[in-house]
Amino acid sequence: MKKLLLAISACCMVFAAHAQEDALWLRYPAISPDGKTIAFGYKGDIYKVDVNGGIAVPLTIHEAHDMMPVWSHDGKQIAFASDRSGNFDVYVMPAIGGAPVRLTYNSTADYPYDFTPDNKQVLFGSPRNAPASDIRFSTRLFNNLYTVPVSGGRAILLSSAGADNAHYSAKGDQIVFQDRKGYEDPLRKHHTSGVTRDIWVYDIKNKSYQQLSTYEGEDREPVLGPNDQLYYLSEKGGISQNLFKASLTSKGEMKQLTHFDKHPVRHLSIANNNTLCFSYNGEIYTYQEGKEPKKIAIQVLNDGRAAVIKHLPVNGNVTQFRMSPDGKQMAFIARGEVFVSSVENNMTRRITNTPTQERGLSWSPDGKTLVYAAERNGNWDLYKASMVKPGENYFFNATLVNEEPLIATAAAEFQPVFSPDGKELAYVEDRNILKVYNLASKKSRIILPKGRNHSYSDEDWDFAWSPDGKYIVTEDQQGYFDVSNAAILPADGNGKTIYPVMSGFGEESSKFSIDGKMLLYLSNAAGRRSLAKQGSKEKDIYAVFLDQAAYDRFKLSKDAFNLLKDDTAATKKDTSSKTSFKPDFEDLENRKVRLTINSASIGDYVLSKDAAKLYYMASFEKGYDLWVTEPRTGETKILAKLGGSSGDIVLSKDGNTLFVSNKGSVVKVETGSGKVTPVSISTEFNWNPAAERAYIYEHAWKEVKDKFYDPKLHNVDWEMYAKNYARFLPHISDNYDFQEILSELLGELNASHTGGRYYASSPEGDATASLGLLYDETFTGNGLKVDEVLTGGPSDKAKSKIRKGVIIEKIDGETVSPDIDWAMLLNRKTGDNVLLSLYDPVAQQRWDETVIPFAAGEEGPLMYKRWVKRMQTMVDKLSDGKVGYVHVESMNDASYRSVYDVVMGRNRGKKALIVDTRFNGGGWLHNDLNTFLSGKEYLHFAPQMEMVEGAEPADRWTRPSCVIMSEGNYSDAFIFPYIYKQNGLGKLIGMPVAGTGTAVWWERQIDQSIIFGIPMIATIGKEGRPTENLQVEPDIRVPLRYEEEMSGKDAQLEAALKEMLQEIK
């Protein structure tokens, strides 16, 4: 691991010192038609260079990310994609350089692929709504193909097949493209399954499609050479993705041209002289048949603006905080750094200054030391920070702070928590062992051994010391997968483990009361639960009394308790000694009390010292608010309306103030009045994006190594690949490139649920408002032609006369002409009154209507409802009402409720049921669905001996069923048809589903816009092996032909219907 870190560091230093060396991570190379020049992307700009290499010339210099250059066929223009307006749009510029012209304005992503043969238009892909006639599932997973004039104007729909990397033939009568079938990460490697890409050709005149490749692995990025020669990239060679040659007209054997064995060939382009150009392992190559691939040495001289250190505010980025024992200081984590602020003024000191991550804060009881976990040198260890100068009592104004390792072993150490006397420290080792470290002896002892708990996400253990330091309460799964129970463990490591509750509903977030006589915990035993087992659950706060006297005192009425407090206060001054408290672990089930009266989604909580008030974060409406309840009386109210996140709560020592984390900040709440005051954090910190990305890269590599479901990492040389991709980090300047590096690295594992994700935020960017209409996007006349009004959308009003065929001539008085992109006229108009000037060519009438558009994202649910209704209507019509239909949108509680509602409502009298799971992206619902569809009648009912319809089990489907599935099923939507078939419940109809049934942890980084996936938990079925990469095959295989689905024919649905009608004859 240290060798890997040295390799990363060396790469950064070498590039900084020798900027004239060859540039790396060169993306999307495109060779010019004459074969003399190569355009490519580097650090978010477009460059061009001589085909023999040399110093590259910048064509764009912009803060945005410019990529995917495409040459016009005459070599005079270059189209490219840029996110200059907050999303990727198509631009075109002179090939010699100059001001680019923006061609597209829709806020969906637009990517250029080619120019038309006459160079007058650009061919691009965009994931917009399919035409009204198209029957394919309503997801914006698929790119429509459009052409747009190089001078700008309306985009015209060419195909809604879902085509990527499309290119014209020389005559312009055909287009070759790669398809897309499902959700898998585009940079995943080596997989063979139904979801991998294939090469197709589209005959424009006949509107017909022909599949050219049939390899079960990846076939992609086709380009056409002379004489209908087809060149494309494929993994058919069995080692890595390479360059292949075939023919459009001949069905002969495909020929492999390159034989790279460690990394994939990507970004293929071709010149008129048949010179091919591509990228391999971050560099650019050219290739001519009969010769070896030639690597092009390219130097890029830029101003290094991407390496500038930036300043970011700390406030709003707080992810964790801990109050000092005296309540005067607040330690917190912001973007992975440790800070300490004064509670009463604006003084803040940065304790750590690293690009790596720190977390898991703990104060020593005297407030002189902070301990935290830090990931440095490739490992999580525990560090302590202390003030150096005598007389300095607060970190926030300390002049010197010393940091040193406290526990630094080869294992990973997390979550330090000081014992009450400050002599010991509890912590988690390797994510599944609970230990206690003695500060004097510098030795650790095991409290809970390996194998009891299995961590899913880092810091997902809850544990706490008892006030006397004799016990630790922790979660204990006892080796099981699902439920955790509270376990009280002797802190010395000796003695019996006590399970004070041991409920089948589990216990979580357990902690002791201040006097140690109560154990508090969360449980959903009394709360409402989702219909699906893995859905949300309402919880309550409970207490188990470890002392009979304390329990008796708690049962007193409020008046009696107040009288007791007065008596105690009067005699307290005469009490000179305290008796040691010894917990009573007998008959605990008789001393269990529910403290909250309303079950809810509850976050953190804290009990006052006298147990008279319980404060907690709960969500009843939108967001979490701070609530208070008096356990003795049940009186409950909102103390502070926060409407925020479920944050931590800390009660001050005097009981007068609560500190609550909320939406990245910390607020003070007065316990008496509920007054909310922000804790002022006005400082900034220096942010080094390049160093932070290097850390995240290293962190991702190590996390996957430690947590991937297969300890052998699918036999991948993980360290070699880590070193390889680390070389490219100095050659990127933003997260678009970084997510690709992460995806390339993680893609080597050949596993589902991997890859990097970058969620760019652009509040000031373009946002095309939606009128709730589908358009005829092949229409070339004046105005925008309506093809359908979306039910429930902004234009679906009782008084509206908008219908199919109506022309929108003007939007807010601006003419919708063919020479402009109509999306410009709806930019950032969500929620505004928009005036439409309309024309009905049938009635030959003109009129105006005012529509209030909604956000484009709100189209999705309406498009989904529309699609489901079309499916239901087809089934009802073709089966004469005998067969029911339901689509499972996602594997979650909301979808399960919808399934139950539809099946046991409108379909309960049907003789058979079609369960459609196509393009379900997963979740955790397989067992619920399996159980629901596996009903066997065992008891009937006859009031007054009149037999009625229905039987037990009344909450299950007991008649025949079948499942439609497709290549678009993913994750738990693989597991469900897999177990449905395994349990013999019915037939699977449609297309194969790739084996993606592995539970994932999507980990968000200190840069909150970046996440990556770690498939962590294997599922193992009857084969006795992980289901990952185990494809489930349909009993009846039915592909969807493009021509049919575009015309409204669903062959898979028809096959399912035929099967069900056959079964119920």
SS3 label, residue 896: helix
pLDDT of residue 616: 98
- Which DSSP string corresponds to 852-878? --EEGGGHHHHHHHHHHHHHHHHHHHH
pLDDT tens sequence across 4-57: 555 555 554 444 444 458 999 999 999 999 999 999 999 999 999 999 999 999
Positive or negative, the CA dihedral 810, 812, 813, 814 is: negative
Which residues neighbour 609 within 8 Å (Cβ) at sequence distance 6 or greater?
514, 515, 655
| Cβ proximity of 356 and 375 under 8 Å | yes
556: which 2 tokens?
């007193």
Strand ranges in 195-317 using DSSP code E only, listed in sequence order: 199-203, 208-211, 219-224, 229-234, 242-247, 255-256, 265-270, 276-280, 283-287, 294-296, 298-299, 310-313
DSSP 8-state class, residue 33: T
Q: Which amino acid is at 312?
A: L
Positive or negative, the CA dihedral 295, 299, 302, 308 is: positive
Cα separation, 269 vs 278, in Å, equals: 6
Cα separation, 819 vs 153, in Å, equals: 4
- Could you say which residues of the chain have pLDDT below 50? 12-19, 574-578
**1051-1063 vs 859-879: helix crossing angle, rounded to 10:** 40
- Which DSSP string corresponds to 788-852? EEPTTSTT--TT----TT-EEEEETTEE--TTS-GGGGGBT-TTS-EEEEEEETTTTEEEEEEE-
Q: For the chain, how far is it from start to end, CA to CA, in angstroms?
A: 65
User: Which among 522, 525, 520 is positioned nearest to 546, based on CA atoms?
Assistant: 520
| Cβ proximity of 143 and 165 under 8 Å | no
pLDDT of residue 252: 64
CA dist 601 → 411, 486, 598, 627 (Å) = 35, 19, 10, 12
φ, ψ (nearest 5 deg) of residue 474: -145, 165
Cα separation, 322 vs 332, in Å, equals: 6
Cα separation, 311 vs 694, in Å, equals: 18
Which residue is catalytic, options 507, 889, 971, 1045?
Answer: 971
SS3 label, residue 114: strand
User: Which among 492, 364, 361 is positioned nearest to 422, based on CA atoms?
Assistant: 364
37: which 2 tokens?
């020049």
740: which 2 tokens?
């690709």
Q: Which residue has the tokens 């509750």?
A: 501
User: Which among 791, 945, 804 is positioned nearest to 866, based on CA atoms?
Assistant: 791
> Where does 546-673 have alpha helices with state H?
548-554, 558-572
pLDDT of residue 577: 41
Q: Which region, left, alpha or beta, applies to residue 945 given φ > 0 means left and ψ of -120 to 50 means alpha?
A: left
Our answer to whether residue 267 is catalytic in this structure is no
Cα separation, 982 vs 997, in Å, equals: 14
Our answer to whether residue 1028 is catalytic in this structure is yes
Q: Which region, left, alpha or beta, applies to residue 422 given φ > 0 means left and ψ of -120 to 50 means alpha?
A: left
**Dihedral of the alpha carbons of 258, 259, 262, 267, in degrees to the nearest 10:** 10
pLDDT of residue 2: 55
Domains, the chain:
20-300 (2.120.10.60), 310-461 (2.120.10.30), 468-566+581-602 (no CATH), 769-858 (2.30.42.10), 881-995+1031-1063 (3.90.226.10)
Cα separation, 753 vs 99, in Å, equals: 41
Our answer to whether residue 454 is catalytic in this structure is no
User: Which among 730, 688, 721, 723 is positioned nearest to 25, based on CA atoms?
Assistant: 730
Q: Which amino acid is at 195?
A: V
Which residues neighbour 890 within 8 Å (Cβ) at sequence distance 6 or greater?
920, 921, 922, 923, 925
Residue 389, number of CB atoms within 10 A of its CB = 9
| Cβ proximity of 34 and 272 under 8 Å | yes
pLDDT tens sequence across 558-616: 778 777 776 666 555 544 344 567 999 999 999 999 999 999 999 999 999 999 999 99
Exposure class string for 153-182: b at 16+ Cβ within 10 A, else e: bbbbbbbbbbbbbbbbbeeeebbbbbbbbb
SS3 label, residue 465: strand
pTM for the whole thing?
0.94
Which residue is catalytic, options 753, 887, 889, 895?
Answer: 753
Bond into 953 cis (ω within 30): yes
Q: Which amino acid is at 867?
A: W
Positive or negative, the CA dihedral 968, 974, 978, 981 is: negative
Q: Which amino acid is at 708?
A: F
pLDDT of residue 199: 97
Cα separation, 202 vs 179, in Å, equals: 11
Cα separation, 1027 vs 709, in Å, equals: 11
DSSP 8-state class, residue 539: B
Cα separation, 979 vs 214, in Å, equals: 28
| Cβ proximity of 396 and 387 under 8 Å | no
Taking only Cα atoms into account, the Rg of the chain, rounded to an integer number of angstroms, comes to 32
Cα separation, 1031 vs 31, in Å, equals: 39
| Cβ proximity of 198 and 178 under 8 Å | yes
**Dihedral of the alpha carbons of 531, 535, 540, 545, in degrees to the nearest 10:** 100
Cα separation, 217 vs 750, in Å, equals: 12
Cα separation, 417 vs 435, in Å, equals: 11
SS (H, E, C) 784-805: EEEEEECCCCCCCCCCCCCCCC
> Where does 461-580 have alpha helices with state H?
548-554, 558-572
SS3 label, residue 898: helix
Q: Give the rounded distance of the alpha carbon of 187 from its chain centre.
A: 16
DSSP 8-state class, residue 12: H
Q: Which region, left, alpha or beta, applies to residue 27 given φ > 0 means left and ψ of -120 to 50 means alpha?
A: beta
pLDDT of residue 346: 85
CA geometry: angle at 926 spanning 921 and 932, to 5°? 125
| Cβ proximity of 785 and 219 under 8 Å | no
SS3 label, residue 378: coil
